[in-house]
Structure 1
Amino acid sequence: MSDARLDILAIGNAIVDVLAAADDAFIEQEGLDKGSMRLIDAEEATRLYGRMAAGREISGGSAANTAAGIAMLGARAGFVGQVATDQLGEVFSHDIQAMGVEFSTPPIDADIPTARCLILVTPDAQRTMNTFLGAAQYLPAGAIDERQVRDAAILYLEGYLWDPEQPRAAMERAILIAREAGRKVAFTLSDAFCISRHRADFQGLIDEGRIDILFANEAEILSLTGAGSFDQAVAEVAPKVPTLVVTRSGLGAIGVEGGTRVDVPAEPIEEIVDTTGAGDLFAAGFLVGHARGRSLKDRLRMGAIAAAEIISHYGARPEADLRALIRARLG
């Protein structure tokens, strides 16, 4: 991996998170279910965005969160995702590059707005999310830079992006390039709903040996296998991938590599405030550890430390120095 220019190149949904304060009266007036998440169309996204109070706009999306965490851990990260030629597209591009992430995907020149998640935060800290996927669903295979993929030690793919046809083709092309270059391919299952829609495809990627590092949580690996127990699900999948990583919320995480299973506990924190981005930052910590040749146990602990930092506050961007936290706890 020493010849790689990037440690990890991530591909996923390019979404701008727009966070704004709102009172209960606004939520009720808009007919929203407080604390829920819904998918909305372009017209509703434009309308609601225009009615929201001034807020904070930051680059988001699962794999983008992971790429930002990787950069904050001092590793060399790149991200591939589709934005549009609009204000939020510029916000996404500027923000993720300011985090130290290489981002060079050309914006789409079409009447399709940049994806955004409009997050209304009420005084009781509830987050009501309204997501428009927009341009993120139109990442073409031609947007994959073959040299960039070959220059990355690890290619990291987000299962959420498997739904639309164009990004699926883009990711399949990236996998082919990475494998031909002898690079590692990491994949996160993302969500049990993604698995229910694409179980055969995901199982095919695993069975065909195209995945080197598979990330899942407990619900996802159970959904993927249909197994009756967690240990049974792990036993079914682990022999098919060189590295299997499964997070279990408060129960910690497990990793299986070369037939050896390692369990680590969750890192202790005073209070769980917001679990948004926990899995994304766990992946960041683990992947950085992998790129640096750390042991499986250390990689799992690096992921757990990063995840614990994220769930201790609102938002999916670390507020503490992750490198300092890991040095203090692991050395």
Structure 2
Amino acid sequence: MPAPRYDIIAIGNALVDVLCHKDDDFVAEQGLSRGVMQPIAPDRAVLLHQAMGVCEEVCGGSAANSMAALARLGLRLAFVGQVGGDRLGRLFADDMAANGIDFPLPPIDTPTGRCLIIVSPDGHRTMNTAIGASEYLPAAAFDAAIAADSAILYTEGYMWRTAEPRAASITALQVARAHGRRTAFTLSSEFCVRQHHDDFVALLEGGLIDILFANEGELAELSGLAGFEAGVAWAARRAPLVIVTRGADGAIAVEGGLRHETPAEPCGPVVDTTGAGDLFAAGVLAGLAQGRGLPTSLRMGSIAAGRIIALMGPRLPADEDLAALIEQRLRNP
């Protein structure tokens, strides 16, 4: 195979995150489930946005957050996502360009999606997402052959919410596998796994996923097993590489019967857990793409996650040097 043009291509929802700090009383008053990610209708999103008051707008989406972090680590990247021809869509496209990430799809005449994030005083997040234009990512809108032009294709479970993005993602996974490229998939959320359990199991048992990312709750939902170790064993029989995050207990990976563990690496008090999984995936994928080996890659993910939870929101500040932080931590175990 010829050398790929990209190190990593991601397919994901193109969203703008709208963040604010509120106490748990506000969450209850709005009829929301604390700490849960759930989809909401566009009209409900407008009302909730108004009730949240003064907010910060930051480009987001799970895989897009990972790509923004990967851009700090010097990789060649492309992101396939759908935005609308509105202010938020232009904000998202400009953000991709500023990060040096190729963003091939033109906007459509549908509002750009947004995720309303309410951060509790203890750092937990209540996320409410109106997908918008991302619901209409058609398989025919981009050249699926781009999936063969990347060493790793990464996609998120949120793409399974509607038929068109699901079909686009599956087609890309099939193309990548047919060309001998590695594929990575994140389960995204427990809610997502409950909604699409059989589809996700079919992906694994169909051999389309090389690298599976999950947290403890998502793994339990997918495997249907209460015990953590039983769930890990179940997943390891279905994916060549299984990576599971455990919050303050760090993360584990199982590949070829070998198990690797890494501790959590916080960079200060927990301010906001938004984006922790996204940054963890970015660190791991960067290490794998750079050929650093699984133990080092796993630790890179832990370092990146530890940095983002010390900040507000899922993105690093513009002047943050994530590569330097990772190298410094790796030199000092």
The CA distance in 2 between the partners of 1:201 and 1:124, in whole Å, is 34
The CA distance in 2 between the partners of 1:209 and 1:159, in whole Å, is 16
In structure 1, which of residues 223, 226, 229 is the aligned counterpart of residue 224 of structure 2? Answer: 226
**1:272 counterpart residue number:** 270
Deviation of the 1:321 alpha carbon: 1.5
The CA distance in 2 between the partners of 1:225 and 1:39, in whole Å, is 23
Deviation of the 1:180 alpha carbon: 1.6
Alignment RMSD, CA only?
2.8
8 Å Cα contact 2:280-2:300 kept in structure 1? yes
TM-score (norm 2): 0.89
Deviation of the 1:96 alpha carbon: 2.3
Deviation of the 1:97 alpha carbon: 2.1
Unmatched 5+ stretches in structure 2: none
Change (3 A) 1:2 1:310: farther
**1:70 counterpart residue number:** 70
In structure 1, which of residues 151, 159, 180 is the aligned counterpart of residue 157 of structure 2? Answer: 159
Counterpart AA for 1:318: L
The CA distance in 1 between the partners of 2:18 and 2:104, in whole Å, is 22
Residue 198 (structure 1) aligned with residue 196 (structure 2)? yes
My pick for the range that moved more, 190-199 or 38-47, is: 38-47
Deviation of the 1:120 alpha carbon: 5.8
The CA distance in 2 between the partners of 1:25 and 1:254, in whole Å, is 35
**2:3 counterpart residue number:** 3
Deviation of the 1:33 alpha carbon: 8.1
**1:150 counterpart residue number:** 148
The CA distance in 2 between the partners of 1:96 and 1:184, in whole Å, is 23
Percent identity over the alignment is 53
**1:316 counterpart residue number:** 314
Counterpart AA for 2:330: L
Alignment of 1:177-196 (within 5 A): 177-196=175-194
**1:17 counterpart residue number:** 17
**2:285 counterpart residue number:** 287
Deviation of the 1:128 alpha carbon: 6.1
Change (3 A) 1:25 1:326: closer
- Local SS of the residue matching 2:102: strand
Counterpart AA for 2:89: G
The CA distance in 2 between the partners of 1:262 and 1:237, in whole Å, is 15
Counterpart AA for 1:226: G
In structure 2, which of residues 254, 258, 273 is the aligned counterpart of residue 260 of structure 1? Answer: 258
- Local SS of the residue matching 1:190: coil
8 Å Cα contact 1:68-1:100 kept in structure 2? no
Counterpart AA for 1:208: G
**1:325 counterpart residue number:** 325
- Local SS of the residue matching 2:69: helix
Deviation of the 1:330 alpha carbon: 1.6
Unmatched 5+ stretches in structure 1: none
Count of residue pairs brought into register by the alignment:
329
